[in-house]
Homo-oligomer: A and B are copies of this chain.
């Protein structure tokens, strides 16, 4: 049986991927765990422990091969395959997501935009047409969409998420201000922007 890897480790993996991406861009071929540790401000032992969850990847006396480690972490994160993403709710945040070029470079392809507002339905954003939410089923059929970003009012979030799961969506990237923890057969990643702002507020208030 596979060992269950903690979400704390998983949360750190995209950060490794980003740093390795920068090293790769800079033409760095290999890096010691000490140097990686200094760059990332985590201990070398933490790096070794984290990576050992997936089998290690380093060689004693050599360190890490940047290209290889970047590829392996990419595979761990599922970035070796492309993912079709739809955005439900094309307000300001939905449009920001539709326009964010970095996602495409990671293999996340925005293939559908949905809203209810007649003022936006029919428009094109970053080359993708906005459809009415009523056309969701028709549009998703045979499209192999595995991720949906929810940027809609919280009153609509759970109902819409259930519908998306029925239509085969495997992951919900949830920006609506409600925790969608109770849904079956789907993975939910809640991104509550105001929660992070409140954390920041706590930390600056405490210091004063």
Interface residues, chain A, with chain B CB atoms under 8 Å away? 7, 10-11, 13-15, 17-18, 40-41, 76-79, 81, 83, 91-93, 95-97, 99-100, 102-103, 106, 108, 146-147, 170-173, 177, 179, 181-182, 187, 189, 191-208
Contact = CB atoms under 8 A, between A and B. Distances in A.
B189 A199 contact: yes
A14 B192 contact: yes
A102 B192 CA distance: 11
Overall SS of chain A's interface: helix
B102 A201 contact: no
B93 A197 contact: no
A199 B171 CA distance: 10
A83 B92 CA distance: 22
Q: How many copies does the complex hold?
A: 2
A42 to B, nearest CB: 10
Contact of A96 (B18, B81, B92, B181): B92
A76 B10 CA distance: 29
Contacts of A187: 200, 203-204, 207
A194 B78 contact: no
Nearest to A195: B14
Given A14-B192, A14-B194, A99 B92 contact: yes
